Amino acid sequence: MKIDLRSDTVTIPTPAMLNAIYNAKVGDDVYKEDPSVNALEDYVANLFGKKSALYFPTGSMANQAAIKLHTNPGEQLICDKWGHVYNYEGGGVSFNSGVSCKLVDGSRGKITADLAEKAINPPDFYHSPKTSLVCVENTTNKGGGACYELDELKAIHQVCKQHGLGYHLDGARIANAIIAKKQDPKEFGKLFDTITICLSKGLGAPMGTVLVGDEAIMQNAMRVRKVLGGGMRQVGFMAAAGLFALQNQFERLEEDHKKANELGEMLASLNFVEKVESVETNIVIFYLDEKVDAEKFMHKLDELGIRISDMGEGKMRMVTHLDYTEIMHDFMLENFRKAYID
């Protein structure tokens, strides 16, 4: 048995999803003539109560497009020091938009209204870059799947409104947050100017992210996507997989969260684990005790058929997902402790 907990991006389409792909009606999406893409975009716009949505091949491209729509070259955005847009999008913020990032020292990848406000450059002090956008991540990736309280997001929204800043949500795993905190997606729609939601993470589609926003900001989104090389033709096959995921694999995220929580408890009971971050969704971050040689540990896991992510300096990550079955879970709870021998 092979157990892959490196990420929730490793899932393979189920037979039912393959069926949805096989039966998808398609057309040329660059002409906006793909009925499956149009249906997906309508569905996601409605989900968040926004006017407009656009399908992208990846979450990075959708975030990058959003940043481009909110900013002009030379300006600055505010995000947490662990932000995906800053750390894991290949420097796209500067490459694509000519924008710099003002990093905020948040907690588990989350910022606060107070930190955001303090990071805004004085608008009439022309020596510093003009602040034009705040990006938050929910759930946080590097922060181990932590979720925001809606009240904090509202407070940040107030700061953005007061200072005339755009407000973007990198919602790669917003579905996990919505399930974990029993929130209404429309609440997020009310607060944010733009939101991305990844279909290829916990939701389990092979690819795709949808960017939503109101008409004014989204007017230029098709052009920006084209510039980034993201105009696709009969991509309805993949959009159909995305729509299937939203309609059939959203509620079940609860199971991933339950398993992640149980993995967290199991890890906390092991004498070679120094600390486990509190598990809020489907990501489990833990730290190995000093006595453990991480390389040997990973090797031993490999022999057990288990793959997880080594994030360096003893920090390890597991992510539960659709293809992580009950049988695998039982095996993990039973055998993971064998990865370290005194």
Ligand X SMILES: *Cc1c(COP(=O)(O)O)cnc(C)c1O
Residues that bind ligand X (CB under 6 A): 58-60, 63, 84, 137, 141, 170, 172, 198, 201, 209
Identify which of residues 12 and 327 has a Cβ nearer to ligand X in the complex: 12
Identify which of residues 37 and 273 has a Cβ nearer to ligand X in the complex: 37
Amino acid letter, 91: G
Identify which of residues 172 and 246 has a Cβ nearer to ligand X in the complex: 172
Q: How far is the CB of 167 from ligand X (least distance, A)?
A: 16
Q: How far, CA to CA in Å, does 60 sit from each of 97, 101, 135, 270, 304? A: 13, 16, 13, 36, 33
Amino acid letter, 11: T
Amino acid letter, 201: K
Identify which of residues 97 and 209 has a Cβ nearer to ligand X in the complex: 209
Q: How far is the CB of 6 from ligand X (least distance, A)?
A: 12
Q: How far is the CB of 83 from ligand X (least distance, A)?
A: 8
Q: How far is the CB of 207 from ligand X (least distance, A)?
A: 8
Q: How far is the CB of 196 from ligand X (least distance, A)?
A: 7
Residue with the shortest CB distance to ligand X: 59
The answer to whether the beta carbons of residues 224 and 71 sit under 8 Å apart is: no
Compute the distance between CA of residue 272 and CA of residue 301 in angstroms, rounded to an integer: 14
Compute the distance between CA of residue 222 and CA of residue 230 in angstroms, rounded to an integer: 9
Identify which of residues 58 and 309 has a Cβ nearer to ligand X in the complex: 58
232 Cβ contact partners less than 8 Å away, ≥ 6 residues apart: 29, 30, 55, 57
Q: Give, to the nearest 10 degrees, the angle between helix 35-48 and helix 236-248.
A: 40
Q: How far is the CB of 4 from ligand X (least distance, A)?
A: 16
Element (DSSP H or E) covering residue 3: strand 3-4
Tokens 């790669």, located at residue: 172
Bridge partners of residue 102, in order along the sequence: 78
Identify which of residues 13 and 27 has a Cβ nearer to ligand X in the complex: 13
Compute the distance between CA of residue 195 and CA of residue 178 in angstroms, rounded to an integer: 13
Identify which of residues 245 and 273 has a Cβ nearer to ligand X in the complex: 245
Compute the distance between CA of residue 126 and CA of residue 197 in angstroms, rounded to an integer: 35
The answer to whether the beta carbons of residues 189 and 195 sit under 8 Å apart is: yes
Q: How far is the CB of 171 from ligand X (least distance, A)?
A: 8
Identify which of residues 67 and 273 has a Cβ nearer to ligand X in the complex: 67
Q: How far is the CB of 200 from ligand X (least distance, A)?
A: 6
- Selection from 322, 314, 335, 312 nearest residue 263 by Cα: 335
